[in-house]
Chains A and B, each alone.
Chain A
Amino acid sequence: MRKSKDRRLKTRIIFFVLLLFTIHCSLFTASNAESPKRIISLAPSITEILFAAGLEDRIVGVTNFCDYPEQAKEKPKIGGIANPSLEAVVSLKPDIVVMTMDGNPREFQQRLDAMGIKTYVFRSHRISELPDGIRKIGIALDEKKMFEDLALRIEQSLDGFNTAKANTSGKMLFVIWPEPLIVAGPGTAINDAINLLGGINIAEDAKGRYPKYSIEEIIRRSPDVIFFGRGKGMDRISRKLLKRLSSVPAVKNKKVFYVSDSLYRLGPRVISGLKELEEHLSKKK
């Protein structure tokens, strides 16, 4: 009776030790695995984050739309965002592919997984989620320090805006493109930026992040400030829209501003985008 109990205990101990050993082994290999040397970015925002964190030399592939910073244009291209080329990605022999769930096809990740290529999905949408999103990329790429530094820099800059007065800057609208009329809706970095600057986005309750908006609704909600994102031919096309909006306070009081595309991508440039909007808003007073 006692003997069998002993034996049972023994086997349990052996089992436990083995278990510990395997756990230890897996931890050991994980922490000692070399951080990925060949990284592919499947989105312009991710490319900007990787560059800002200082991983330029390890980026071996980017999308055709990754145009910032300037050096990103010289990296090998792997196709579009919605239609990256699987073949191009595989032939670059990446250690890890960093992708996003809004834009990149879900099946793409499944295919890469099936071929044993590591992926990491960047899931942040809001400015407030950006620093932690950056930290998580750092963990995935095993370069915590570099990404922690970047996240801290962004957090510090954001702190300056967080002290801004709430709802003191009035109603705003950010027009991405006038024809068709696409504006920045809820859940976008632009919407967050407007809130951080003490404004209210009149398209905040729209369905979808970049909704098609109605001119009638703009007139009804009469924004105090209108921003236009710059782009080819924006001057001419925006003038046409502004003519129809002549009764809106923003147009009457000449509070229509043209700004860069810094806020279009959730990356380190949102800070300069925020500053840009802030400058315009303070100019008026």
Chain B
Amino acid sequence: MGQVERNMKLKLFTIILAAMVIFAAALFIGPKFINPFNVNGIEKEILISIRLPRVIVSVLMGMALGASGAVLQGILRNPLADPYILGISSGAALTAVVGIIGGSAFLGIVTIPLLAFIGALITGIFVGAMGWKKGGFWPERLLLAGVGLGFLFSAMLMLIMSISSDEGLRRATLWIFGDLSIADWSVIPYGLVFIAVGFIISISRAKALNALILGDELSHSLGFSPRRERFILFISVGLMTAASVALGGMIGFIGLLIPHVGRFLIGSDSRVLIPVSALGGGMLLCIADLIGKSVLSPMELPAGIVTAIIGAPYFLYLLRRKDVLSI
């Protein structure tokens, strides 16, 4: 037992260390290397007002997606669940793209994130209402409501995009693929608050999530009300996903596969899995964005594309090597 625990601690320590190294690397390497011990005026400006907010946004988004993926796969008891399956992201994309193509900027730089957040929140509430029956959430109903609503919103999004030949279209496409290039300080506090609240809720209910995974009856006998816990956890997922989409658009892969990578590495105890998925998501998105803005610099590749390109092979490698596959 002592050996296993020591092993686990070592793994956690390695993951945290790796995260630190990656965040620092993303900050200083970039398209052009900035020597942290010899920073001139213009480099300082680039570090503080361009790179740092961008690293923070990517880490926040990645953490939110990783953590909500881990929670969602638990409450829906489905290994294919990801934060986007609930339609939240399609709702956000719809309102954001309407804002981008309509060219609205009534609140300046926070307009689009705000629109996306409102869209995500409304969709989340709607999906929740659809999945609610007889005083509680039904995992299957939530999933189906999310998928159905997602299709509707995607179709509406495509409709808007196909009838608008405006230049806003290019911007909208970039946003949908996850665009971190405009990340700046103004939206970070809001994103941080919602993601932190969602994260704390999910961590504090991790034990209940462990029970939920075992089934409703077992969790009853363990002293957790499945209805109540599912409701609380659903809210935490909604907050984190909405804030993440609002910060920088849609990033695929992380929410679906990072929790599985986490399970391969440290097992499926939610108390560890949620923070590890969060860190893993943050690291992956951070690296992906670093690569995306550096390889073809100054051309920038959307982070969402790079995330899947570097994440998927690693996931497949783990899938081949490990034999455990459970939620």
Interface size on B, residues (CB 8 A): 33
B293: chain A residues at CB < 8 Å are 85, 87
CB pair B300–A85 under 8 Å, yes or no, is yes
CB pair B103–A64 under 8 Å, yes or no, is no
CB pair A115–B49 under 8 Å, yes or no, is yes
8 Å CB contact of A208 from B42, B49, B164: B164
Among A22-30, A209-217, A249-257, A260-268, the stretch in contact with B: A209-217
CB pair B184–A102 under 8 Å, yes or no, is no
* Given A87-B50, A110-B108, A211-B165, CB of A82 within 8 Å of CB of B299: no
8 Å CB contact of A64 from B45, B164, B174, B299: B299
A105: chain B residues at CB < 8 Å are 171, 182
Answer yes or no: A77 CB below 8 A from chain B CBs. Answer: yes
Give the distance to chain B from A252, nearest Cβ to Cβ, in Å. 29
CB pair B182–A108 under 8 Å, yes or no, is yes
Bound-state CA distance A182–B32 (Å) is 39
CB pair B109–A85 under 8 Å, yes or no, is no
Answer yes or no: A240 CB below 8 A from chain B CBs. Answer: no
Bound-state CA distance A201–B248 (Å) is 40
Give the distance to chain A from B291, nearest Cβ to Cβ, in Å. 14
Answer yes or no: A78 CB below 8 A from chain B CBs. Answer: yes
CB pair A208–B166 under 8 Å, yes or no, is yes
Answer yes or no: A54 CB below 8 A from chain B CBs. Answer: no
Closest to A108 in B: B182
B205: chain A residues at CB < 8 Å are none
Bound-state CA distance A106–B163 (Å) is 21
Closest to B166 in A: A208
Give the distance to chain B from A104, nearest Cβ to Cβ, in Å. 9
- Best-buried of A81, A86, A208 by chain B (most CB within 10 Å): A86
Closest to B172 in A: A82
Could you give, for residues 155-197 of chain B, a 1 whenever the CB lies within 8 Å of some chain A CB and a 0 otherwise?
A: 0000000111111001100100001011010000000000000
> Which A residues between 94 and 111 are near B, CB-CB below 8 angstroms?
102-103, 105-108, 110-111
Bound-state CA distance A108–B50 (Å) is 12
- Best-buried of A81, A106, A182 by chain B (most CB within 10 Å): A106
* Given A85-B300, A105-B171, CB of A111 within 8 Å of CB of B109: yes
Could you give, for residues 171-214 of chain A, a 1 whenever the CB lies within 8 Å of some chain B CB and a 0 otherwise?
A: 00000000000100100000000000000000000011111100
B105: chain A residues at CB < 8 Å are 106
A246: chain B residues at CB < 8 Å are none
Bound-state CA distance A77–B46 (Å) is 17
8 Å CB contact of A82 from B46, B49, B174: B174
CB pair A85–B298 under 8 Å, yes or no, is yes
A107: chain B residues at CB < 8 Å are 109, 112, 182
Bound-state CA distance A263–B51 (Å) is 38
Answer yes or no: A90 CB below 8 A from chain B CBs. Answer: yes
Bound-state CA distance A144–B43 (Å) is 34
Bound-state CA distance A46–B50 (Å) is 25
* Given A90-B46, A91-B42, A110-B108, CB of A208 within 8 Å of CB of B182: no
Bound-state CA distance A98–B154 (Å) is 36
Closest to B186 in A: A114
* Given A103-B167, A208-B165, A211-B165, CB of A90 within 8 Å of CB of B298: no
A185: chain B residues at CB < 8 Å are 165
B311: chain A residues at CB < 8 Å are none
Give the distance to chain B from A109, nearest Cβ to Cβ, in Å. 10
Could you give, for residues 12-34 of chain B, a 1 whenever the CB lies within 8 Å of some chain A CB and a 0 otherwise?
A: 00000000000000000011100
- Given A79-B298, A86-B182, A87-B46, 6 new contacts (CB under 8 A): A87-B32, A88-B298, A91-B42, A114-B184, A182-B165, A208-B165
Q: 26 A-B Cβ contacts within 8 A?
A: A64-B299, A77-B299, A80-B299, A83-B300, A85-B31, A85-B298, A85-B299, A87-B30, A87-B32, A87-B46, A87-B51, A87-B298, A88-B297, A90-B50, A91-B42, A103-B170, A106-B105, A107-B109, A107-B182, A110-B109, A111-B182, A114-B49, A209-B166, A210-B165, A211-B165, A212-B165
Q: Which residues of B are interface residues toward A (Cβ below 8 A)? A: 30-32, 42-43, 45-46, 49-51, 103, 105, 108-109, 112, 162-167, 170-171, 174, 179, 181-182, 184, 293, 297-300
- Name the 7 nearest CB pairs between A and B, nearest first: A208-B165, A88-B298, A85-B298, A79-B298, A82-B170, A102-B167, A107-B182
